[in-house]
Structure 1
């Protein structure tokens, strides 16, 4: 998959819904849970429909193009640029990525909520724990203020914690184990951090609630429950009003070890279907596929239905083929059909949802960078190489050459590692032995090496050139994924 080869259709800044047709009720009260519903201060049900602001305050490799992990990417850029230019570039990037124009565009799609993922590193240094950086809150405040101006809710999502709450790149740990569950120091820091967040946003009506931990993956299944009990008590001690959105274990897909329901809490599942990804069975709308989608959803929400609590689907969505694929139109039509089939399931159960993601370089976003931007021009050869090597897990579609390299290694591991031992390695069977090997060799080791190579593209850049690169992420320099947006807009009009 080569996102940099996407054609340049109409500008994303072109409005799709006349402003005067928007009739959303002004936000003037904090949301709360009532039975199976989320309600406003007047007791009227609210179904949250929106997207995640991925790649912004928690950067991910496939979203903006770097390899590996965010902290490694930033360290490599710092080494090349020096402190002053490094701070200038990332300040501009964080400002341009989500402006008032983005909030306006989002509202014009008829959607009402943005999930804001953030990395703890914006707020706290590992060498200075417990001392909170005001610049982190300034960035978050700026996003919320821009959303508030367009009558939008936000959900605050802690996407990366010290040690990593899961084994994947988006927890920004740099390792293949979720060490957060092994160190009480890490957990205590995040409990205190959430108290700081709750104190800061207490009474803010545009904050729909707090999502304390994205996609936890606790091998013991019990540490997560203890953490949720602790963080709920800590947050309520300073902010008794805001809703909590609690993800299930094993990447928000497993609630089998959840025993109790916490007050004023929405339980959050993630509902990605592999039928929307390369190298998997593709969605064609058969009765069997629709039944499979429904079974998967029903399994994930069994806990919520049994306990009569609201459901929030915090992430879902396929990746889209680029124009480099001869059959990209056919492939993408199947993936738009998949989105529609999933939305139909959510409407039937009155599920709140947040699609992944709002803006990127061409994999999943509602909008994506134009190929004519400075960022895409600079990175084009590098992105081609990175795609050929398949270092990013998300949307990877391996060539025969890559398979010829790794398949013998996988076969060797299957031969020498008894199946009974592999089954002990969590998460299993969600991850096969191949996935564990890829995680370490391709996404971590190869990703780190490629990170140095990408950083060299920034060497010698002037302040003006860095500003132009960051400005590539402005909405006016992006294009729409129009068919996706039309699907989401139509669903936003249904209840």
Structure 2
């Protein structure tokens, strides 16, 4: 099934001037600009702004310690440790400095046209009614500011419900709380998640700073085995569309609604959204943890060159998370040492092979823009560019992949 898209970057002039760009026209709704150009150029090419609004301590250990949050695993744990007032102050400093306007300028200068922003439900206060878990307060101001920076540069934005009420997976810092078991999977939590989606949808359509937000992902990486999750998928779509209907948003200006694809193993959203417009799927391609790929250079290249991210059904697909990380068993061996020149050449080719495969669909978003992992650039797009592993122009991927 091929979904009908609401709006994606290739339908808007979000890449700036291109040699093959045709005529463009200004739409009245929030100043969006449309343009026609070659699909070769018009792909989602982006980075996740990981650990900005949902901190994952494994990737920014120094920052986490400087905030006074260590050894807690999660944001809610840090609030418990520091107390509400102190936690609010240290998190506000983090939101103010972890991603700056200079970062957005650099992202744009590296030929990227998209950012994916992981959010915790707690950024929307209305979604926290009745919650017995504490989270830091005040992030919405910084999200508004970030959206303005992106909009001013015509950078497309995907907003992602990364941490859901009750947590959608157990013992994961990426949910904001160390839950055991995960308790998202009930009607009360679904209702609170829908409140998050409703309020955020209204904000996107009524706040000019959000004018390049085009996609809203209703849930990141949920646990498998919860059959009633499909009920949430159905109501999440209805919640977003109902809010847009009440705001009298034209069909062409509606958000695309994104779901993890069936290959994730947590249900097939397409089975309950048959024929609905503006549905996009998310595939996370971490070959590091793929047991079907042997942990050697040839296998990684072969797997990426032949990858079909749409094989699990549901299109169009964005590869919303991926990296250059390899299996734990080999990541510190000589074959994969990140500072060896020959290995840098190999990582460049592997990056390119993944890009070429993912652009057979509508594009990709690398995890992540920045980390604090020392010499290891495999999770850090900015560092990989600075070290010459990833070219400043992603369009070079086709010539580098050698598939």
Structure 1 match to 2:184: 180
Structure 1 match to 2:55: 59
For residues 16-415 of structure 1, what are the structure 2 equivalents within 5 Å?
23=17, 41-42=34-35, 46-65=42-61, 66=64, 69-75=73-79, 78-79=82-83, 83-84=85-86, 86-124=87-125, 126=128, 128=130, 135-167=138-170, 168-181=172-185, 183-202=186-205, 204-220=210-226, 222-239=227-244, 241-248=254-261, 252=264, 258-259=270-271, 260-274=274-288, 281-285=294-298, 289-293=300-304, 297-298=307-308, 301-304=311-314, 309-319=315-325, 327-328=337-338, 329=340, 333-347=345-359, 349-362=360-373, 363=376, 364-367=379-382
Does the residue aligned with 2:122 lie in a helix, a strand or coil? helix
Q: CA deviation at 1:482?
A: 3.5
Does the residue aligned with 1:174 lie in a helix, a strand or coil? coil
Residues 1:134 and 1:78: Cα distance change in structure 2 (over 3 Å):
closer
Aligned-partner Cα distance in 2 for 1:215–1:253: 9
Aligned-partner Cα distance in 1 for 2:349–2:260: 26
Does the residue aligned with 2:116 lie in a helix, a strand or coil? strand
Q: CA deviation at 1:359?
A: 1.0
Instruction: String of CA shifts for 1:234-285, please: whole Å, max 9, x gaps.
Output: 11111251111211257x46665742353111111111112799xx943423
Instruction: String of CA shifts for 1:210-233, please: whole Å, max 9, x gaps.
Output: 11111122413x322211110111
Residues 1:145 and 1:356: Cα distance change in structure 2 (over 3 Å):
same
Q: How does the TM-score come out when normalised to structure 2?
A: 0.72
Residues 1:333 and 1:29: Cα distance change in structure 2 (over 3 Å):
farther
Structure number with higher relative contact order (C-alpha < 8 Å, ≥ 6 residues apart): 1
Residues 1:28 and 1:493: Cα distance change in structure 2 (over 3 Å):
farther
CA contact (8 A) 1:30 1:41 kept: no
Residues 1:493 and 1:126: Cα distance change in structure 2 (over 3 Å):
farther
Does the residue aligned with 1:186 lie in a helix, a strand or coil? helix
Does the residue aligned with 1:163 lie in a helix, a strand or coil? coil
Aligned-partner Cα distance in 1 for 2:140–2:305: 40
CA contact (8 A) 1:276 1:335 kept: no
**Structure with max Cα Rg:** 1
Aligned-partner Cα distance in 2 for 1:350–1:261: 19
Q: CA deviation at 1:189?
A: 0.7
Aligned-partner Cα distance in 1 for 2:285–2:317: 12
Aligned-partner Cα distance in 2 for 1:97–1:156: 18
CA contact (8 A) 2:95 2:139 kept: no
Aligned-partner Cα distance in 2 for 1:230–1:51: 29
Q: CA deviation at 1:489?
A: 6.0
Instruction: String of CA shifts for 1:102-136, please: whole Å, max 9, x gaps.
Output: 1110000111000000112233374655xx99933
Residues 1:344 and 1:61: Cα distance change in structure 2 (over 3 Å):
same
Aligned-partner Cα distance in 2 for 1:49–1:342: 12
Does the residue aligned with 1:157 lie in a helix, a strand or coil? strand
Structure 2 gap ranges (5+): 1-14, 65-70
CA contact (8 A) 1:50 1:115 kept: yes
Higher fraction of helix: 1
Q: How does the TM-score come out when normalised to structure 1?
A: 0.59
Residues 1:341 and 1:493: Cα distance change in structure 2 (over 3 Å):
closer
Instruction: String of CA shifts for 1:312-336, please: whole Å, max 9, x gaps.
Output: 1111112389x99764325555443
Runs of 4+ in structure 1 deviating by more than 6 angstroms, as ranges, are 323-326
Structure 1 gap ranges (5+): 1-20, 32-38, 369-477
Aligned-partner Cα distance in 2 for 1:128–1:154: 30
CA contact (8 A) 1:276 1:319 kept: no
Structure 1 match to 2:3: none
Q: CA deviation at 1:488?
A: 3.6
Does the residue aligned with 1:115 lie in a helix, a strand or coil? strand
Aligned-partner Cα distance in 2 for 1:228–1:275: 26
Aligned-partner Cα distance in 2 for 1:487–1:317: 17
CA contact (8 A) 1:49 1:492 kept: no
Residues 1:27 and 1:112: Cα distance change in structure 2 (over 3 Å):
farther
Residues 1:345 and 1:72: Cα distance change in structure 2 (over 3 Å):
same
Aligned-partner Cα distance in 1 for 2:391–2:230: 37
* Count of residues in Structure 1 that have an aligned counterpart in Structure 2: 340
Q: CA deviation at 1:159?
A: 0.4
Aligned-partner Cα distance in 2 for 1:30–1:218: 42
